Amino acid sequence: MARESDGTWRTESRLPVEPVYGPGALDGWDPAEKLGEPGAFPYTRGVYPTMYTGRPWTMRQYAGFGTAAESNARYRQLIDHGTTGLSVAFDLPTQMGHDSDAPLASGEVGKVGVAIDSLEDMRTLFDGIPLDKVSTSMTINAPAALLLLLYQLVGEEQGVPAERLNGTIQNDVLKEYIARGTYIFPPKPSLRLTSDIFRYCGAEIPRWNTISISGYHMAEAGASPAQEIAFTLADGIEYVRTAVAAGMDVDDFGPRLSFFFVSRTTLLEEVAKFRAARRIWARVMREEFGARDPKSLMLRFHTQTAGVQLTAQQPELNLVRVAVQGLAAVLGGTQSLHTNSFDEAIALPTDKSARLALRTQQVLAHETDVTATVDPFAGSYAVESLTDDVERAALGLMTRVEDLGGAVAAIEHGFQKGEIERNAYRIARETDSGERVVVGVNRFQLAEEEPYEPLRVDPAIEARQARRLAELRAGRDGGAVRTALADLQRAAQGTDNVLYPMKEALRARATVGEVCGALREVWGTHVPTESF
């Protein structure tokens, strides 16, 4: 929120906030007709009739650092503390499809997530964790197919049938071109890989959520709430069009689509954003794509609290911020939630801070009354008016994307990236000027910050991973690996689903870098266009 010189408060999306809202703010619409009921079209009030009155949201904690063994120990602790779903963070080399001993991986191994180079690493990551008993979300995009197949192979080793595996791969490469940059291949082959994943999971892993279309990273890059849902839903439309063009029925894959959004401290607008996103998606799926299955119309989403709003100054204040952000997500109707640790603006979270983050969700679920009734903000003059405002703003941006030819064409024009960068610059200027108050940063500072000892990743991890890779390559059947990679390249050159030969290559102990390298030789790599 920022207050302008004339005294007007504006939301993160630059929408005016009125001092008082009344019936006139709703333009005379009938709430019963406009809102519908929870669990019914257009799902403004939530995707399920009972929401949290039956059971609370899934409490996920995002973790992964250093080696697979270290991350496995953290996962076991989180499960012991009551986590009901795991979310895996991967290091940058894994996200970019490079092995830990690649020159480009130097200095980044295990830093922002766990290093996964092969089936051996994935086996270690989930050692002692029964894959038929947990729901696992993997934040991986360009190489999403590889990590999913490694997970399936570990499940097979545990004796878990693929139809009992439950989880999500992010698999949203379009937002990488817009906001994050961890892409590998150009957009068109990346979309082909996405549709192959849809087909593969439909046939082999039916309970798996094949994509988590993400606005979170756009928001972290500076997108406003309206931009976040507009560009995310535009990407979703592109994925659906790709799958339909490949001959798939929308109701065959629509129910397995999911979304991933941020939750900021601006509680009212965040609640409005989630409500508007559900309403827009339900109409798009029904009116543009002719979806008939109600599950295809439901925008189900995971939420993570806003890391970009955490501060290194007075980091304990982040506990308050995360609690407010988590509450906004719950009031907005999220299906699962990750709460950031208070020390993440400084370094990787410690065991204690990760536990405190989980306990924040448990307090919301068990000590407040927000789970006692469905959609407590329904009919609020302020929230319903803001929902309409955010919806209009988002639809306006989605129209501009369509006018450019859709999400991929708009990416090639640099449209989304440019809009987000301009908004990020505005926020930075407002913070620097003091127009936007950030407690502890530009107001209410301390003369001297209290010392804090963060968690550090052992730099020797890189050498240990390199040794593991050398041992792997020395002990495997090199001829079998070469044959499997050649089969993968033939599929990539044609129209066969690439996941089947990819799985055999990984089973033969080909590495993540080798598999991605084989596909780079066929598909090339993406060269970004400068935004305007």
Are the CB atoms for 38 and 374 separated by under 8 Å? yes
- H/E stretch holding 167 reads strand 166-169
pLDDT on residue 30: 72
Q: Residue 2: beta bridge partners?
A: 10
The stretch 267-294 carries a mean pLDDT of 98
381 vs 456: which has the higher pLDDT? 381
Q: How confident is the model at residue 527 (pLDDT cuts 50, 70, 90)?
A: confident
The stretch 83-93 carries a mean pLDDT of 88
Domains and CATH numbers, the chain: 2-48+59-308+316-328+342-376+385-433 (3.20.20.240)
pLDDT on residue 87: 85
Distance CA 300, CA 404 (A): 28
**Could you tell me how far CA 225 lies from the centroid of its own chain?**
15
pLDDT on residue 424: 97
The stretch 72-79 carries a mean pLDDT of 89
Tens of pLDDT, residues 225-280: 999 999 999 999 999 999 999 999 999 999 999 999 999 999 999 999 999 999 99
Query: Does residue 93 have a cis bond before it (omega within 30 degrees)?
Result: no
Are the CB atoms for 519 and 499 separated by under 8 Å? no
Tokens linked to 241: 């069009």
* 4-13, 26-35, 436-445: range with highest mean pLDDT: 436-445
Distance CA 363, CA 152 (A): 34
Distance CA 139, CA 483 (A): 30
82 vs 376: which has the higher pLDDT? 376
Q: Is the pLDDT of residue 532 over 50?
A: no
pLDDT on residue 436: 94
Backbone phi, psi, residue 61, to 5°? -130, 130
52's CB contacts (< 8 A; 6+ apart) are 330, 365, 370, 371, 374
Long-range CB contact pairs, 119-123, < 8 A, 24+: 119/150, 119/153, 119/154, 119/506, 119/507, 119/509, 120/468, 120/472, 120/509, 121/67, 121/68, 121/468, 122/68, 122/147, 122/150, 122/151, 122/153, 122/154, 123/154, 123/157
Tokens linked to 352: 């204690």
Are the CB atoms for 139 and 88 separated by under 8 Å? yes
Tens of pLDDT, residues 18-53: 899 888 777 777 766 678 899 999 999 999 999 999
pLDDT on residue 530: 59
Tokens linked to 2: 């920022």
> CA 376, 381, 385, 386 torsion: positive or negative?
negative
Distance CA 340, CA 268 (A): 20
Tens of pLDDT, residues 340-378: 999 999 987 888 998 999 999 999 999 999 999 999 999
Burial of 510 (0-12, 13-18, 19+ CB in 10 A): buried
pLDDT on residue 452: 77
Distance CA 110, CA 168 (A): 22
Are the CB atoms for 208 and 163 separated by under 8 Å? no
